[in-house]
Chain A
């Protein structure tokens, strides 16, 4: 029941807004309500028993289709992320010049869709809820975007549509590969089935490409920076913060437990690709001259670490990956939100032209600094705890390789990414907020003081998990322990 509420509150609110309810008020109320309900779910969640708060409505027995919602530790963390970022994104939405109702409705559809996907136990709705974001994204970027918004909207839509349809084929292949006794679209039943080793490899590859496009795995990443740079800030917050985690969630939820042999077979290729994300995209990020593009590329780069955690295939690495998904969502949402505010005040986000904004916007500068520190993984923020776990997890990894091998090389190389991200983040911070420029004199106002609420929300939760990662680890552990019980 609680899960139904948390999923459908944003969606119902979006429909209400479309038929004429006051946009900002309804959206804010709905997103706060969503956050409240997900907080209640977190408090009433029992770390030791599997899927909880399960609701099932049978739809079609012939298609094995039912509408089923339920959460375990992993989906719980993701739902909480979705709710927090949704509140922040709605709060950060300022004056919308035209079609205000449509803007808020689109935001709520994206947020509700992401939460629904994380809560779904049925593959059909898992997929369908994620796709709910497709048209809203197209409209948000195309109508209210900035810069080369039309090209960006086309690119992101076609890319994601193609990725999704490949993913759909992968999902269908997955459930056809399970022996008839366990064949179901329901995750819980599906996980009981063994998939023959010979089939795992091809299915894993299809899923990796499908999810990889959605996550912007190199070489399928080109849509992401452009889309995030052009999208209105709240859309970028939700997309980079929450929606992109859907693909990673899918890999953790489906590919790892169901296709262990496939994961093993492709782990070498995945390591190469994720190093592409960390090293190559990291260097590309350094070369960026605009703040929004820099952030867009940085969000692509950080996906590499989460992939590293997933590739490690052991409890430590995957737990780290799950926590980093959460932590990265918070930090990138904060950074994109603040960038949107800066964009409203300065003529261009060119790093060379900006400077000295800290004088006029002290609050924004402070918050942006916190966002940067968490993004580069300063101790105390959840990102740090997560990255440590990932690195240790990947160094040991879940495969019984002998001697010094590719995983350890990859881990060592990936560590350099921390340096790279510190370079571009701190440099961008300095060039935006310190020094002086002609532009900074034009800026008259800081961000509204009310924005302290969403900023505090994003920062405090990240700090909380940074100091007490056990809160998340305890809830994630049972899920991942099941995955790797055979190997460890």
Chain B
């Protein structure tokens, strides 16, 4: 049996070791570092199934910050799985990194490219366990800072640099909001631990306004992380400019961590009715904006960026309906289908770019990739027998059970819009003739295995969600 905090330590050690090898071994083929990271992450993922249950009696101060309950373990697994998927994509993406980085050797910087996601992963895992604002802040910053570097990693590409600057500035603003909010909450309640804050807030006669103000500031900061409207402005440009695997990581990992923190932070505040109204408003705006802005996109990466805003909207509906189960399941489904679509995008865009045209006639160039993208799009749109549909089913179920009919009506419209823009990709793949290059696309065995696993996961969870529910218990 392993104690939960060792998982993060293991990830950090893995990252550090890879960084050291990168620095001191000049001759090694850097791709081996990627394989080593994959192997290590797989072991740590398996290790999460042997974590000792948290001892409730332990009164060590550490456990005031850190929780190892089923939910946090579950989100640690999401973080690990995402990182694994992202590193597989990075291996496919490696040739583009080399051309985007100045260096003395052809593989300069590649080792760092594989090491940085591990540090992000450690941050995500801490975030999922954090039950104190101090740890939330520290882990969030670890994640954000490593993302600064990753987003701007291909330094020769101006778009990537622009994305990095935008991300840096806006994240810094969000961090400012977060710290300011935490200060207000601390000032009002005298606590940073979420559980203790709950107790203070529910005390009768407690003056709530100051704490509420702090709570709103924290929600604004988290709104940046999960890409909720009106805090979404960075999303489209940063997603489009960042290296594609990093975009996938941002859109899955960063979002999942944002939602677990949101769930934990909201727990004390949801007793206040004002908070709920605010969240409903954010959810409505996010749903409408994300889906409508995705409609005219012709760049697949940008389309997926807006789709990620749209899915934040559905997740917020689940949050407003107090359904942790729906949030968790939806995130898993989102992980599968988003990684799948980005993994195909990495392969297809290498010769042709991110435009929709490079997908034209994909069914003839690579039937396997075409099918993978079809599954991803069907799941994102919410076609039954895919995980994406079951996620939407749970979200609608939760919203109707809690009588949020206004949200349901908005969501009906946006799902309809979703079918349009996701099927635009399907149309390009199956209807259109190949535009320029008709070469077959080569898929490496590792990527093939990863894609098949993602496809299988999408279908299995589409009809058999019970493993996810069991893991949450």
**Residues of A in contact with B (beta carbons under 8 Å apart):** 59-60, 62-63, 65, 67, 99, 124, 127-129, 131-132, 134-135, 138-139, 142-143, 150, 154, 157-158, 161-162, 165-166, 168-169, 172-173, 176
Pick the contact of A150 from B397, B431, B466 — CB < 8 Å?
B431
Q: CA A442 – CA B393 in complex, angstroms? A: 54
Whether B337 is near chain A, meaning CB under 8 Å from some CB there, is no
Chain A residues positioned under 8 Å from B363 (CB to CB)? 99
Determine whether the beta carbon of A138 is less than 8 Å from that of B423.
Answer: yes
Chain B residues positioned under 8 Å from A169 (CB to CB)? 396, 400, 408, 412
Determine whether the beta carbon of B463 is less than 8 Å from that of A59.
Answer: yes
User: Which B-chain residue is minimally distant from A142 (CB atoms)?
Assistant: B431
Q: Supply 7 further A-B pairs (C-beta < 8 A) apart from A132-B384, A169-B408.
A: A59-B464, A59-B465, A134-B383, A161-B415, A162-B419, A165-B415, A165-B416
From known contacts A128-B385, A169-B396, infer whether A176 and B430 are also in contact, taking CB-CB under 8 Å.
no
With both chains docked as a complex, state the minimum distance between the C-beta of A279 and any C-beta of chain B, in angstroms.
30
Chain A residues positioned under 8 Å from B374 (CB to CB)? 135
Determine whether the beta carbon of B401 is less than 8 Å from that of A176.
Answer: yes
Pick the contact of A124 from B325, B393, B423 — CB < 8 Å?
B393
Whether B156 is near chain A, meaning CB under 8 Å from some CB there, is no
Q: CA A129 – CA B415 in complex, angstroms? A: 19
Determine whether the beta carbon of B378 is less than 8 Å from that of A143.
Answer: no
Q: CA A63 – CA B394 in complex, angstroms? A: 9
Pick the contact of B419 from A67, A158, A168 — CB < 8 Å?
A158
With both chains docked as a complex, state the minimum distance between the C-beta of B414 and any C-beta of chain A, in angstroms.
10
Q: CA A59 – CA B464 in complex, angstroms? A: 6
Q: CA A478 – CA B412 in complex, angstroms? A: 37
Give the one of A59, A62, A127 with max B CB within 10 A: A62
Determine whether the beta carbon of B415 is less than 8 Å from that of A135.
Answer: no
Determine whether the beta carbon of A138 is less than 8 Å from that of B412.
Answer: no
Q: CA A358 – CA B394 in complex, angstroms? A: 56
Whether B426 is near chain A, meaning CB under 8 Å from some CB there, is yes
User: Which A-chain residue is minimally distant from B463 (CB atoms)?
Assistant: A59
Determine whether the beta carbon of B389 is less than 8 Å from that of A128.
Answer: yes
Chain B residues positioned under 8 Å from A166 (CB to CB)? 412
With both chains docked as a complex, state the minimum distance between the C-beta of A154 and any C-beta of chain B, in angstroms.
8
Q: CA A172 – CA B323 in complex, angstroms? A: 16
With both chains docked as a complex, state the minimum distance between the C-beta of B63 and any C-beta of chain A, in angstroms.
29
With both chains docked as a complex, state the minimum distance between the C-beta of A100 and any C-beta of chain B, in angstroms.
14
With both chains docked as a complex, state the minimum distance between the C-beta of B470 and any C-beta of chain A, in angstroms.
9
Whether B420 is near chain A, meaning CB under 8 Å from some CB there, is yes
Within 8 A of A (CB), among B408-427: 408, 412, 415-416, 419-420, 423, 426-427
Chain B residues positioned under 8 Å from A124 (CB to CB)? 393
Q: CA A59 – CA B465 in complex, angstroms? A: 8
From known contacts A134-B383, A165-B412, infer whether A157 and B465 are also in contact, taking CB-CB under 8 Å.
no
Determine whether the beta carbon of B431 is less than 8 Å from that of A157.
Answer: no
Chain B residues positioned under 8 Å from A165 (CB to CB)? 382, 412, 415-416
Pick the contact of B400 from A60, A131, A173 — CB < 8 Å?
A173
Whether B469 is near chain A, meaning CB under 8 Å from some CB there, is yes
Determine whether the beta carbon of A138 is less than 8 Å from that of B426.
Answer: yes
Q: CA A173 – CA B423 in complex, angstroms? A: 28
Q: CA A176 – CA B400 in complex, angstroms? A: 8
Determine whether the beta carbon of B423 is less than 8 Å from that of A157.
Answer: yes
Determine whether the beta carbon of A60 is less than 8 Å from that of B469.
Answer: yes
From known contacts A63-B465, A128-B384, A150-B431, infer whether A162 and B412 are also in contact, taking CB-CB under 8 Å.
yes
Q: CA A150 – CA B427 in complex, angstroms? A: 9
Chain A residues positioned under 8 Å from B389 (CB to CB)? 128, 131
Q: CA A132 – CA B378 in complex, angstroms? A: 11
Chain A residues positioned under 8 Å from B378 (CB to CB)? 135
With both chains docked as a complex, state the minimum distance between the C-beta of B431 and any C-beta of chain A, in angstroms.
5
User: Which A-chain residue is minimally distant from B378 (CB atoms)?
Assistant: A135
Determine whether the beta carbon of A135 is less than 8 Å from that of B396.
Answer: no
From known contacts A135-B383, A162-B412, infer whether A172 and B400 are also in contact, taking CB-CB under 8 Å.
yes
Chain A residues positioned under 8 Å from B381 (CB to CB)? 161
Within 8 A of A (CB), among B350-404: 363, 374, 378, 381-385, 389, 393-394, 396-397, 400-401
Determine whether the beta carbon of A172 is less than 8 Å from that of B396.
Answer: yes
User: Which B-chain residue is minimally distant from A59 (CB atoms)?
Assistant: B464
Chain B residues positioned under 8 Å from A154 (CB to CB)? 420, 423
With both chains docked as a complex, state the minimum distance between the C-beta of B376 and any C-beta of chain A, in angstroms.
13
From known contacts A135-B374, A135-B378, A168-B396, infer whether A158 and B420 are also in contact, taking CB-CB under 8 Å.
yes
Determine whether the beta carbon of A142 is less than 8 Å from that of B427.
Answer: yes
Chain B residues positioned under 8 Å from A60 (CB to CB)? 464-466, 469
Chain A residues positioned under 8 Å from B397 (CB to CB)? 172
Give the one of A67, A154, A162, A168 with max B CB within 10 A: A168
User: Which B-chain residue is minimally distant from A202 (CB atoms)?
Assistant: B405
With both chains docked as a complex, state the minimum distance between the C-beta of B232 and any C-beta of chain A, in angstroms.
24
Within 8 A of A (CB), among B439-473: 463-466, 469
Chain B residues positioned under 8 Å from A168 (CB to CB)? 393, 396
Give the one of A65, A124, A128, A143 with max B CB within 10 A: A128
Pick the contact of B430 from A63, A142, A157 — CB < 8 Å?
A142
With both chains docked as a complex, state the minimum distance between the C-beta of A102 and any C-beta of chain B, in angstroms.
8
Q: CA A67 – CA B393 in complex, angstroms? A: 16
Q: CA A334 – CA B21 in complex, angstroms? A: 71
Give the one of B363, B394, B423 with max A CB within 10 A: B423
Chain A residues positioned under 8 Å from B420 (CB to CB)? 154, 158
With both chains docked as a complex, state the minimum distance between the C-beta of A206 and any C-beta of chain B, in angstroms.
10
From known contacts A142-B431, A165-B412, A173-B400, infer whether A62 and B384 are also in contact, taking CB-CB under 8 Å.
no
Pick the contact of A62 from B385, B430, B469 — CB < 8 Å?
B469
Determine whether the beta carbon of A143 is less than 8 Å from that of B419.
Answer: no
Chain B residues positioned under 8 Å from A128 (CB to CB)? 384-385, 389, 463
From known contacts A59-B466, A60-B469, A131-B383, infer whether A157 and B419 are also in contact, taking CB-CB under 8 Å.
yes
Annotate B312-332 by CB proximity to A: 1 below 8 A, 0 otherwise. Answer: 000000000000010000000
With both chains docked as a complex, state the minimum distance between the C-beta of A378 and any C-beta of chain B, in angstroms.
40
Chain B residues positioned under 8 Å from A129 (CB to CB)? 384
CB<8 Å pairs between A and B, sample of 8 = A59-B466, A62-B325, A128-B463, A139-B426, A143-B430, A165-B412, A172-B397, A173-B400
Determine whether the beta carbon of A162 is less than 8 Å from that of B416.
Answer: yes
User: Which B-chain residue is minimally distant from A165 (CB atoms)?
Assistant: B415
Q: CA A132 – CA B385 in complex, angstroms? A: 8
Determine whether the beta carbon of A131 is less than 8 Å from that of B384.
Answer: yes
Give the one of A150, A162, A165, A173 with max B CB within 10 A: A165
Chain A residues positioned under 8 Å from B415 (CB to CB)? 161-162, 165
Pick the contact of A143 from B385, B431, B465 — CB < 8 Å?
B431
Q: CA A31 – CA B357 in complex, angstroms? A: 38
Chain A residues positioned under 8 Å from B463 (CB to CB)? 59, 67, 128
Q: CA A158 – CA B325 in complex, angstroms? A: 29
User: Which A-chain residue is minimally distant from B389 (CB atoms)?
Assistant: A128
With both chains docked as a complex, state the minimum distance between the C-beta of A23 and any C-beta of chain B, in angstroms.
15
